[in-house]
């Protein structure tokens, strides 16, 4: 998990930490992806296209077959997101991710991101 999180923060090759059949869901947002390439593209889109953002880690808990991260999603809104054109707004939204592990690989990611807070921050006037 630490290698994955380091690669994610560096915008490196974090897909190497996924199983071939990995799944991703953003809980409460009806957004899903399946397969290594689709999951990587979804994460890259969120961190590099819709936003220029990075996670600020708060905690990591790793068990035998599961892991969890608590972090802040921090960045600037640089591209269309949920029908909202780029605003240039800075965002900081707390979130967590629950991971299912298969050995040393990630089999599933469930992201819990308070979308109402993200939308609120995107709708405020530019900083």
Q: What is the pLDDT along the chain (127 residues), one digit of tens a residue?
A: 999 999 999 999 999 999 999 999 999 888 899 999 999 999 999 999 999 999 999 999 999 999 999 999 999 999 999 889 999 999 999 999 999 999 999 999 999 999 999 999 998 755 5
- In three-state form (DSSP H/G/I as H, E/B as E, the rest C), the secondary structure along 75-114 is EEECCCECCECCCCCEEEEEEEEEEEEECCEEEEEEEECC
| Predicted local distance difference test score (pLDDT) of residue 30 | 83
| Nearest Cα to Cα of residue 96 among 47, 61, 44 | 61
| Predicted local distance difference test score (pLDDT) of residue 86 | 94
Q: Is the pTM of this model over 0.85?
A: yes
The total of structural domains in the chain comes to 1
Phi and psi torsions of 47, nearest 5°? -90, -20
Domain limits for position 25? 2-123
Tokens (6 digits) for 70: 């608590």
CATH number for the domain spanning 22: value is 3.10.450.50
Q: Which helix (H) or strand (E) holds 53?
A: strand 51-62
CB distance 55 to 71 below 8 Å: yes
């Amino acid at each position: 998990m630490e290698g994955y999180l380091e690669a994610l923060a560096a915008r490196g090759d974090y897909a190497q930490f996924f199983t071939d059949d990995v799944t991703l869901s953003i809980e409460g947002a009806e957004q899903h992806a399946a397969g290594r390439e689709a999951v990587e593209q979804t994460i890259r889109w969120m961190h590099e296209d819709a936003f220029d953002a990075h996670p600020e880690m708060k905690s990591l808990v790793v068990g035998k077959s599961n892991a969890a991260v608590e972090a802040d999603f921090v960045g600037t809104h640089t591209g269309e997101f949920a029908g909202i054109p780029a605003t240039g707004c800075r965002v900081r939204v707390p979130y967590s991710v629950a991971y299912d592990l298969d050995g040393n690989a990630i089999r599933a990611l469930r992201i819990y991101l308070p979308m109402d807070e993200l939308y609120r921050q995107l709708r405020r006037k530019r900083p």
